[in-house]
Structure 1
Amino acid sequence: MDKIAVLIPCYNESQTIEKVVKDWKRELPEAVIYVYDNNSKDGTDEIAREAGAVVRYEYQQGKGNVIRRMFREIDAQCYIMIDGDDTYPAEMGREMVNKVLERNVDMVVGDRLSSTYFEENKRPFHNFGNSLVRGSINRLFRSNIRDIMTGYRAFSYEFVKSFPVLSKGFEIETEMSIHAVDKNMAVENIIIEYRDRPQGSESKLNTYSDGFKVLKTIGRLYKNYKPMQFFGMVSLLLFIIAACMFVPVLITYFEIGLVPNFPTLIVSGFMALAALQSLFSGMILSTIAERERQEFEFRLQLVRRMKKDELC
């Protein structure tokens, strides 16, 4: 087991990868630097290898697929995940590692949004999207993660080996954040300086398509992790619609003693039944989700035992 593993997922980062690898070798000389190449066509892998990194490959395209491969293959007491575009400072790595190894923090989040991100980033829709995602998750899950989409994080062995990677692309950071909050893992934020990509280096993130995937992921995970709240809101909405349709029919009945709008009455009845069905679905799924959290704690004990065995 490595003590510290620096994980760098890469796709066509030949312009910056050498500097990133050398910066991390300088800041954390005891760490093993892993570069996982994701079908780069510009020689990123060879440059990283010459700079001193251990180069491996993931042929399924997408950042989520790369991180899944990394987490499966590498065993370490502490993991640092960093992008290969030289937008994050390696100088904060030591502090992040210390939080994991000395304070038993499960995930340390490199917070760009509280420092220079909005000044350095030249894509206004990215700024808006980051703020929207952060606000949505912190409100829905009652958390205080200051930067949901950051690619600069540190993890404990327990987090990495118990985290089920389901996303294939850039929504992976959102999935990590929600998983940590839902499973009551120790999370801390560290404010970092952010610098925009150097000229000639292009972001692989599509503002609109990837942004939609992130929002879709938030909705999916909210439904899975907080089913009572999700289906409770659906039930309330259906009940309000049913009431809005039923009340005028009821008023007309009291006024003239007749029900002239039977179709409206029937539809309102079906809407009320759907509201009840949604409510009971939320209650059942909430019980299942609670059971899953209990089972996760038992699995986490097994992961910790595996870690102790490997250290011994």
Structure 2
Amino acid sequence: MPATDTEVRLDKVLVIIPTYNEAENVETIVARTRRANPKVDVLVADDNSPDGTGEIADRLASADDHVHVMHRKGKEGLGAAYLAGFHWGLGRGYDVLVEMDADGSHQPEQLPLLLEALKHADMVKGSRYVKGGSVVNWPMHRKLISRGGGMWTRMCLGIGVKDPTGGFNAFRANTLRTIGLDEVASAGYCFQLDMTWRTLKKGLTVAEVPIEFIEREYGHSKMSKDIVVEALLRTTLWGVDYRSGQLKELGHLALERVEQVAGNLKERRRKH
């Protein structure tokens, strides 16, 4: 069932921060998250970073009971890290699970906006492209890829979400249990779209709140051509499947209408 107006327990919030070679950023983003949101827990999901990110996260966890670390075997992609984090959090009874980047592009000071909106939604996206949202210090090619991907997604899938690929997202635990996490196979750029699309297909509500997205100051973006290509291919295939289903439904409705009209005509002839 879609979300109701019932309160979400904000004292059971888990912020999942995937990391791979984020030694320059992880301590700062964890500190900012805890300072701006003292009641939340943080899970650093590290993909065996060779730069020592995992060791820094362990040190942070040893000093703060609200910080936890998941050490993964190797670099398996953003989507796999989030899925592991979701299962970790669901198994420990969290009511809200949040996706947030480690590089500071998602500002933890804006997390309360997402949590407030989640009281009346099943998933909330921090959106760069709704009124009040913005992107800071992005090169033009990144803007074109992001904007173009959103337009292509809306056209293929017929959805109204302005920032379907945005990665600053909050979910109710029941939403994640409903949408079929074990069936998600998407990796990076496409993972966020996959989660949004699955939520919408289940008839659940997706809300967007404006955020200021800031390009990372330290380290390197994990965006690659392969990730973009995967997103385009998967979105196109989902769109073909979705539109085919719509056409089949229209065909069935048209056939039913024809049969109804034919039946009415036959009944009139019988009476006359």
TM-score (norm 2): 0.77
Question: Aligned residues, how many?
Answer: 229
Q: 2:227 aligns with which of 200, 210, 215?
A: 210
Displacement after TM superposition at 1:283 (Å): 7.1
1:33 aligns with 42
Whether 2:86 is the aligned partner of 1:71: answer yes
Matches within 5 A, 1:117-128: 117=135, 119-122=136-139, 124-128=140-144
- Map residues 225-244 of structure 1 onto 2, 5 A cutoff: 225-229=242-246
CA contact (8 A) 2:156 2:236 kept: no
| Distance in 1, Cα, partners of 2:187 & 2:23 | 23
After TM superposition, list the pairs within 5 Å mapping 1:86-125 onto structure 2.
86-100=104-118, 102-103=119-120, 105-114=121-130, 115-117=133-135, 119-122=136-139, 124-125=140-141
- RMSD after superposition: 2.3
SS in 2 for 1:12: coil
State the shift of 1:183 in Å.
1.9
| Structure 1, gaps ≥5 residues long | 233-278, 285-312
SS at match of 1:167: coil
**What is the Cα deviation at residue 48 of structure 1?**
2.1
CA deviation after TM superposition for structure 1 residue 40, in Å: 0.9
Instruction: State the structure with bigger RCO (CA 8 A, min sep 6), 1 or 2.
Output: 2
Does residue 54 of structure 2 align to residue 45 of structure 1? yes
Q: TM-score, normalised by structure 1?
A: 0.68
In the TM superposition, residue 141 of structure 1 has moved relative to its aligned partner by: 2.5
**Corresponding residue for 2:261?**
none
Q: Give the alignment of 1:57-68 within 5 angstroms.
A: 57-59=71-73, 61-68=76-83
Deviation of 1:11 after TM superposition, in Å, equals: 0.9
Residue identity opposite 1:217 in structure 2? R
| Counterpart Cα distance in 1 of 2:199 and 2:151 | 17
Gaps of 5+ in 2: 1-8, 62-66, 253-272
By how many angstroms is 1:166 displaced?
A: 1.8
SS in 1 for 2:159: coil
SS in 1 for 2:124: strand
Relative to its length, the structure with more helix (as a share) is 1
The amino acid across from 1:55 in the alignment is V
Identity value in percent: 23
Residue 181 of structure 1: how far off its partner (Å)? 2.1
Contact 1:112 1:193 in 2 (8 A): yes
Partner of 2:260: none
| Residue correspondence of structure 1 range 1-312 to structure 2 within 5 A | 3-52=12-61, 53-59=67-73, 61-75=76-90, 76-100=94-118, 102-103=119-120, 105-114=121-130, 115-117=133-135, 119-122=136-139, 124-163=140-179, 164=181, 165-198=184-217, 200-206=218-224, 208-229=225-246
Measured after TM superposition, the shift of residue 159 of structure 1 is 1.6
